[in-house]
Structure 1
Amino acid sequence: MVDLSKYKSHPDKQLLVHAANVTAGIKRRTSSKIAELSAVFHDIGKMNPNFQKKLLNEKTNGYANHAYLSAYAFLSFCAANMSSVLKELNGDQSAIRVITAIVAHHHGDLPNMEKILSRDEMLRLKSFLEKEIEFPIQDFLNKYMENVNGIHVFGKTNENFMKIGLCPKEIKKPLELFQDTQFSFASLISADKEDASGYNSQSAIDEFCERYSLDLINYLNSLSGDSEINRIRTKIRKEAINNIYPLLIQGKRIFSLTSPTGSGKTLMLLSLAGEIIKNKGNMRIIYALPFLSITEQVEKECNKIFGESMSVARIDSKSENKLFAKYQDQLDEKPEVINEIINTQFAEDIFDYPFIITTFVKVFETFLSNKNSTLLKLPNFANAIFLVDEIQSLPPRLYGFFIALLDSFCAQHNSFAIISTATMPNFELPTNNNHNLKEFFQSYSAPPELVSFSNFQEDIFDRYDIIRIQQTLNVEELSELIKKENSSSLVILNTIDDTKLLYNQFSGTKSHTKVLLLNTHFTPNDRTEKIRLCKEMLENNEKVILISTQLIEAGVDIDFPVVYRDMAPLPNVVQSSGRCNRNGKLPLKGRVVLISLNRNDVMRAALIYRGIDELFLKYSLEKVVGKITETSCFELQKSFFDLIQYHTVFATHRSEVFKTVGNEMGEIDFIQKMKEGAFNDIGKFKLIDEVKFGEEFRYFIPRNNEDYSFERLEELYSQLIKIPLRDFVAKRLKLIEVENHIRKMSGQIAQVRIRKNDIYPIPDEDSCFGIYKLSKSYSFENGIDLSNENQIV
């Protein structure tokens, strides 16, 4: 009898124990046979004596890649037990390739199924297999399986293994296999890391859900219900709640909530999540929004409702971990809190909180990702309620694709989703497509609507008129129009350059009117302060002019009597209009002035919305003419989204990252790539095309002369590089400290995309963790200066 207890998976853990714990972790996450077999085999290669020596810090030059050896052991098992393996996998031979890929790459990222193994690595493994003696793989497998036939790992190399990376197989159910592979891989790596780190989930989902409805009802009852707008909001919310119940009984999982701007969609979404919990059981809630500014806004609202507890976590690139600072302060006196610090970070990585507020990037990129670090959170997307607001902010050609993808995920993993916006796209599957979409998304139907479109015709939501100025205007002409306004004005332009040029038209004037500039060349703290100043002045009836890019057009709760908007696709125009007379308090209607800004005889909008986006701009140019009421916008939007569905290619996307020889347009067909199992190709997708919009630089702007946050970051860097490579725990702790310190700095970090022709501002010193300190070339009034004036001649 072989003593298997002598084999270790980690220095302090037996391989048998680790494999059992990971397998149990897999079974808590999924019933997938792909995941289960991956769990059994993923670390079996650690029985290699060379790997065991590495664990003991003994020198060895022998082959020690345990992942490839584990994958080879799996294929050897398949060769000896093919009929029983195929029976477990419902006869799907492509699943064997998938498991091989998951096992071989569980410390990396999912590869394309076309070539899942490195030839050089396979040759090194082959050389090792032909020389080494057997070790007890079959004895190990007998602990997990019955009737395992003899497995021969050493000696003559299994030719199937050498070929599997080169011979693509036809995938019978590509969407199902893609999502099963992703989820199985994600479940394996999260269960693996969970056991290796000793992580124990503290996510009190049941406790949070038990008090969820009561907290929400108490908050709703505290709101004033005597205004006309609040009475309408309550009516719409109750309508949505009444309509979702029978749909849940019918087995529907994904719903559409199309409601006017200012109708209280946040509270509607939260109330609908409560109904799902009441009818379907306790679940995690994931509230996804397109912009960081809105995640902060929703977090404040949720903290008012549920209190500032650890149950509600905002997870994005700026959010600070609430527990980290507490544990960091205790570290010197209580070294045992090291594990708490690591676990706190891991909880964020895997989204292990009852209620999460996050960004579209965190959610939608995960659904297409092949990345190890990104997919860690995917298992916690199961048994969850997605509240997706401002869905129109996604790329138009991906509207329906992402919703169909989300629908499929929800059906497989007991999740639900509510898709919300004032400008709802058409989610029907188009028929004029290169693929048979009904065959690909076999069980998909468009999300049912929860509220009546007649709400858009309520008098309270007829708050503004859109007035189109037909002739083009240059910046000087636009500034003269704005100066003549007696009321406060919000001006939304398409580019940062245009906002700066217009702002300069007001510089040096003798007017007492406050003029503020807002774009991403300001720190988040300064952007927040500018919006606060505007709100304060508007409430005090003081005239203010805010000149902004479109960062203010979705979700920002601000209310101007007059809005100027440069020409844009209809959803952008409508979203911008939502900042006009938002609360319906004006005695007369608000006014949205739609202009066409011109510079050097070129319409500025045509430079931004070109190529595949030209069609969207053309619709506005042709349809938005004369004067249009808010209530008439709904039908215009409906026909716009029908146009998109008919004229755009479903589930395709263009980006610089997809450009290759033969694909100079950089276009990817996601459905075709899923049919090919091209995980690595699909995983390159980013919601923000960093190459197209310029290289991103991060500049830290000190609050004052006493702000030494950057110097502290440099100090942390010095401490990090002094930690020995083998001191993994200390290094991880320091990296967590660095990450949280950068998040604390984030309110003063301006993230700027600099194009080839821009002048780089001169930083104070070299970058630290990719961040530059900038004391000059920045002001609260103008933001970061990218002109020649910031250079020293």
Structure 2
Amino acid sequence: MTFYAHSGTPGDKSDWQPLPEHLKGVAELAAANARPFGMEKAVRVLGLFHDLGKYDPQFQRRLEGADIRVDHSTAGAAKLLELAKGQDRGTAELLAYAVLGHHAGLPDKHNEFGHCFKRRVREYRDRLDPAWKTQLGFGLSGLMPAFVSARVAKATAAFDLSVLTRFLFSCLVDADFKDTEKFYAERENRQVDRDWPALDRSLPDFIARFDAHMAAMPADGTVNRLRRDILAHVRGRARMAPGLFTLTVPTGGGKTLASLGFALDHAGAHGHRRIIYAIPFTSIVDQTADIFRKVLGGEHILEHHSAIDDEEDRPRRKGERPPTSRDRLKLAMQDWAAPVVVTTNVQLFESLFAARTSRARKLHNIAGSIIILDEAQTMPRHLLKPCMRMLDTMARLFGCTIVLCTATQPALGRERPDGRPGFPDGLDLAGRELAPDPEELSRKLRRTRIERVGDMDNMALVEALRSQDQALVIVNSRKHALELYQEAKQAGLDGLVHLTTRQCAAHRRQILADVRTRLDPKAKHPCRVIATSLIEAGVDVDFPRVWRAQAGWDQVMQAAGRCNREGRRERDESVVSVFAPVGYDPPPEIKALVKDTVRALDRHSGDAQSLEAIRSFFEEVYWRLGDMGLDSKYIFDDFILSLDGSSFAFRAAAEKFRMIESKMEPVIVAIDDTSRDAVKKLAIEKISSGNLARELQSYIVQTPPRAREMLIRNGHVLFEQPGLREMQFAVLKKDSLYRKEVGLLWDTPDYLAAEDMII
């Protein structure tokens, strides 16, 4: 009997894929994926065993059209556990998690549901044809190389091995996807996702472009000279051994380009495979990606931020069949194979803790990368310890270099600069600072005066804006920003600009370009910007005056970075006024930080912008939260090793590890020819969803789930081409609900239209 992995023409098996061909093809692709971290042999076995259940004659009947459900994912796991002996038994158990999860996602070892590891293996009944034993050549000894085992830290072994399991899983699911994609692409003229060049091939051109770009930058003035000195010093440390680094440079000191220059030189010195630049806010990923495209050329930069869900977690209707391998080719998944990836912290960390196949697929491409965490102080405090441990594991087990890049360096090292104990279970950062004398840089690049001004309502803020032709007001919520903008508009202020995540990235780019034109010293046009915190991190604008609603001290410092950024004005004239907004409570996540800020300010009233004041603020925050508060979801408790083996709860941990607690859902606003053309392409089956997702991500607005549900219920948003794309591409159909000035107004979508907007 001939066994098949995937079907082709019904009734004619001449174009069906033989099962041994698929298993061996996946095994070789997966082994190549694992080469950067030394687990090729184990992952080759993983590829051979992942679809072993297709040797069940019942599965072959299903391929022929029988309406039956067959679990083909348990057999390989059960056989691995049955056949592996001695020390290899533990590694086989890690592989078994991956086999069990290669369609539905990594399972928990134990839970109350039927899909857990323990129950599935216990209830497995062997119905495999014995042909598999002769058709597949494999060995189950020496699965864990000694050098990999030596990198696993005894104190954190359970966590380390859980991360290793995810990387093994990633190697498998990516290889499975690509082999299946290749099979169907050849038969159906289906477009596969693009191939990216390796970083080492692109690196000489990247460095030449970078050097030419920096040589063309302005060299006059104190700030520009400091930026050049910082860059030279940072690049001079690129030959240091890979691992963990900090880069502490005040806002306006050129951190983005300095960190990129370091990454290029460091990759050249040590052979890193790609550069991953992770940014805290979706709102500025596009700006950083634009900078990188300008410097390095756009054809090798992958910008990945606004995720279009793959629908893996969508509840299936009663009687609905599970998706086939061919169905999964419709999903919009990114594999991060580009030489340079610009993404968000959410994408990075939630992928590293993921159980789902689509999120985990990219992990093996992170091994051997340089990861730059821009604005590292923004990592959520309730998940800070799991994040720190993940970074440590990435450096030890997977050869990553990680740069914590920030103007306000959080106290994350095991030791403080003065040698006292630092962050509990912190990172080994001693001697790993890339910047020249951060304390001195903090003094030299201080260009503003920060003052606390007490309560201010919207009327007072409007009058403050009226007194300045060019000014920035930053508030803590989209609601406050919109209402303040509406009141300022009614008051007749000129040059008003509203900047919010209600607007899609494509529009924000246009708005910020207009703001920079208005702020040009030669133009001197009125420019009064009302924004949420999205403008604070990494947005290159220079205002003479800034008002900032009370928030964490690091946010206040980031706001100060938008004031007198180029040092053209006197420090005492460049004022950042911190106010308490009347009528708008701070969001729950920053309410306690406001109090921490006040305490830190009181303690350092003489020099509130010093690095010591910043460290004091973070220590205050960490001290208040304590160990439990820094892992408030008890992520570590989900990964346990005992004499009985592993007890890993991958699904439970992934569900708890949410960097943004309030999940948002994407709505595509097709508001120009580029986006409308991309939406039309959704009807073309041969174009991959991944390509189209990349084209459309700049036209996404993230909305609260209930808001999107109401928009869909009222017919204002529809899923485009659900037969081809599943429920992935939710497109706004009522154009009047979106305006460039204010973005998407979802608050009352059952009746809201253009004529209802009071602007």
Q: Which range, TM-score by smaller chain?
A: 0.7 to 0.9
Structure 2: distance between partners of 1:584 and 1:785: 38
Instruction: Decide whether the 8 Å contact of 1:292 with 1:316 is kept in 2.
Output: yes
Number of residues paired by the alignment? 677
Structure 1: distance between partners of 2:636 and 2:709: 38
Q: Which residue of 1 aligns with 2:643?
A: none
Q: 1:138 to 1:403 in 2, by over 3 A?
A: same
Q: Which moved more, 1:291-300 or 1:182-191?
A: 291-300
Structure 1: distance between partners of 2:246 and 2:207: 21
Q: Which residue of 1 aligns with 2:405?
A: 420
| 2:544 paired with 1:561 | yes
Q: Which residue of 2 aligns with 1:312?
A: 301
Q: Which residue of 1 aligns with 2:145?
A: none
Pick from 703, 721, 729 the counterpart of residue 752 of structure 1.
Answer: 703
Pick from 110, 119, 124 the counterpart of residue 106 of structure 2.
Answer: 110
Pick from 649, 669, 673 the counterpart of residue 700 of structure 1.
Answer: 669
| 2:49 paired with 1:59 | no
Q: 1:698 to 1:197 in 2, by over 3 A?
A: closer
**How far off is 1:60 after superposition?**
7.0
| 2:185 paired with 1:178 | no
SS of the equivalent of 2:102 reads coil
| 2:581 paired with 1:622 | no
TM-score under structure 2 normalisation? 0.79
| 2:654 paired with 1:683 | yes
**How far off is 1:21 after superposition?**
3.0
**How far off is 1:66 after superposition?**
1.9
Q: Which residue of 1 aligns with 2:249?
A: 259
Deviation per residue, 1:488-544 (Å, 9 max, x gap): 110001122222332233233355x32222222233333333322222121111232
Pick from 361, 385, 402 the counterpart of residue 346 of structure 2.
Answer: 361
**How far off is 1:569 after superposition?**
0.7
**How far off is 1:580 after superposition?**
0.3
Q: Which residue of 2 aligns with 1:165?
A: none
Letter in 2 for 1:189: V
The structure with higher relative contact order (CA 8 Å, sep 6+) is 2
Q: Which residue of 1 aligns with 2:752?
A: 790
Deviation per residue, 1:87-142 (Å, 9 max, x gap): 335xx4xx444333222221220011224983799999999948x5852344345x
SS of the equivalent of 1:489 reads strand
Structure 1: distance between partners of 2:527 and 2:535: 16
Q: 1:588 to 1:542 in 2, by over 3 A?
A: farther
Structure 1: distance between partners of 2:128 and 2:608: 78
**How far off is 1:570 after superposition?**
0.2
Q: Which moved more, 1:454-463 or 1:404-413?
A: 454-463
TM-score under structure 1 normalisation? 0.76
SS of the equivalent of 2:490 reads coil
Instruction: Decide whether the 8 Å contact of 2:110 with 2:649 is kept in 1.
Output: yes
Pick from 635, 650, 674 the counterpart of residue 670 of structure 1.
Answer: 635
1:469-488 equivalent positions in 2, closer than 5 A: 469=453, 471-485=454-468, 487-488=469-470
Letter in 1 for 2:660: I
| 2:478 paired with 1:491 | no
1:553-632 equivalent positions in 2, closer than 5 A: 553-589=536-572, 590-599=574-583, 604-605=584-585, 607-609=586-588, 613-624=590-601, 632=609
Instruction: Decide whether the 8 Å contact of 1:35 with 1:187 is kept in 2.
Output: yes
Deviation per residue, 1:297-331 (Å, 9 max, x gap): 2222222222233x222233389xxxxxxxxxxxx
Larger radius of gyration: 1
Letter in 2 for 1:363: L
Q: Which moved more, 1:455-464 or 1:278-287?
A: 455-464
**How far off is 1:10 after superposition?**
3.3
Q: 1:108 to 1:446 in 2, by over 3 A?
A: farther
1:165-314 equivalent positions in 2, closer than 5 A: 173-198=157-182, 202-245=196-239, 247-248=240-241, 252-309=242-299, 311-314=300-303
Structure 1: distance between partners of 2:155 and 2:235: 41
Q: Which residue of 2 aligns with 1:386?
A: 371
Instruction: Decide whether the 8 Å contact of 2:412 with 2:423 is kept in 1.
Output: no
Instruction: Decide whether the 8 Å contact of 1:494 with 1:550 is kept in 2.
Output: yes
**How far off is 1:216 after superposition?**
1.8
Consecutive unaligned residues in structure 2, runs of 5 or more: 8-15, 143-153, 183-191, 309-327, 417-421, 641-646, 720-728
**How far off is 1:171 after superposition?**
11
Q: Which moved more, 1:644-653 or 1:588-597?
A: 644-653
1:4-43 equivalent positions in 2, closer than 5 A: 6-11=2-7, 12-30=16-34, 31-32=38-39, 34-43=42-51
**How far off is 1:653 after superposition?**
6.9
Letter in 2 for 1:223: M
Q: Which moved more, 1:534-543 or 1:289-298?
A: 289-298
Consecutive unaligned residues in structure 1, runs of 5 or more: 79-84, 149-169, 320-341, 432-436, 655-666, 721-729
Structure 1: distance between partners of 2:224 and 2:158: 47
SS of the equivalent of 2:485 reads helix
Letter in 2 for 1:678: A
Structure 2: distance between partners of 1:412 and 1:45: 32
Structure 2: distance between partners of 1:475 and 1:242: 49
SS of the equivalent of 1:349 reads coil
SS of the equivalent of 1:66 reads coil
1:767-778 equivalent positions in 2, closer than 5 A: 767-768=718-719, 769-778=729-738
SS of the equivalent of 2:286 reads helix
**How far off is 1:573 after superposition?**
0.5
Q: 1:519 to 1:59 in 2, by over 3 A?
A: closer
Structure 2: distance between partners of 1:673 and 1:181: 14
Structure 1: distance between partners of 2:336 and 2:554: 31
Structure 1: distance between partners of 2:330 and 2:200: 19
| 2:516 paired with 1:535 | yes
Instruction: Decide whether the 8 Å contact of 1:564 with 1:595 is kept in 2.
Output: yes
Q: Which moved more, 1:279-288 or 1:619-628?
A: 619-628
Q: Which residue of 1 aligns with 2:56?
A: 48
Structure 1: distance between partners of 2:447 and 2:297: 34
Q: Which moved more, 1:746-755 or 1:67-76?
A: 746-755
Instruction: Decide whether the 8 Å contact of 1:468 with 1:627 is kept in 2.
Output: no
Structure 1: distance between partners of 2:714 and 2:707: 18
Structure 2: distance between partners of 1:422 and 1:125: 51
Instruction: Decide whether the 8 Å contact of 1:26 with 1:39 is kept in 2.
Output: yes
Deviation per residue, 1:131-184 (Å, 9 max, x gap): x5852344345x223899xxxxxxxxxxxxxxxxxxxxx999211211111111
